[in-house]
Amino acid sequence: MELFLVGEKIKVFQHEGLQSVYAGWTHSIALTKMGEVFSWGRNSYGQLGSERELSYKPEKIEALDNINQISVGSEHNLAVTKDSGLYSWGWNEHGSCGTGDKMDVLKPTRILENKKVKLAFACTGTSFAIVE
């Protein structure tokens, strides 16, 4: 499957197993059927999940695999694993990454470690999760 920039004939991303694509305010995230996560866009708060030389180029977030669900906020993200784990990363000014502080999270970090997360939702400056 190929992803093109709307209104242009510029191929942005191609992956045979592409499942879905999500857009934040300044970045985009793609999830594959195999549970891989790719990101691109601005990275001023760590919202891409890793340091980048070329942030506009889609790259796999190596710290994530086996992902079942993604939610993209304005500049932070949440990822639920197939075994009910939850990871967050990006802009954390309002504590939206759930790490207990307000420091930006530059790479995916496991949160709610003692919970089985069913779904998670990243909003503008907040997040919430449905847990067992």
Q: What is the pLDDT of residues 34-53, one digit of tens each?
A: 999 999 999 999 999 999 88
The domain total for the chain is 1
Distance CA 26, CA 74 (A): 7
Note whether residue 124 is domain-resident: yes
Q: Does residue 1 surpass a pLDDT of 70?
A: no
| pTM attached to this predicted model | 0.89
Note whether residue 85 is domain-resident: yes
- Looking up residue 37, the CATH number of its domain turns out to be 2.130.10.30
By the 8 A CB rule, do 26 and 39 touch? no
Quote the domain boundaries for residue 54.
13-131
Q: How many residues does this entry show for the chain?
A: 132
Task: Supply the pLDDT for residue 66.
Answer: 96
Q: Does residue 102 surpass a pLDDT of 80?
A: yes
Note whether residue 73 is domain-resident: yes
Note whether residue 119 is domain-resident: yes
Note whether residue 7 is domain-resident: no
Note whether residue 6 is domain-resident: no
Task: Supply the pLDDT for residue 80.
Answer: 98
Note whether residue 36 is domain-resident: yes
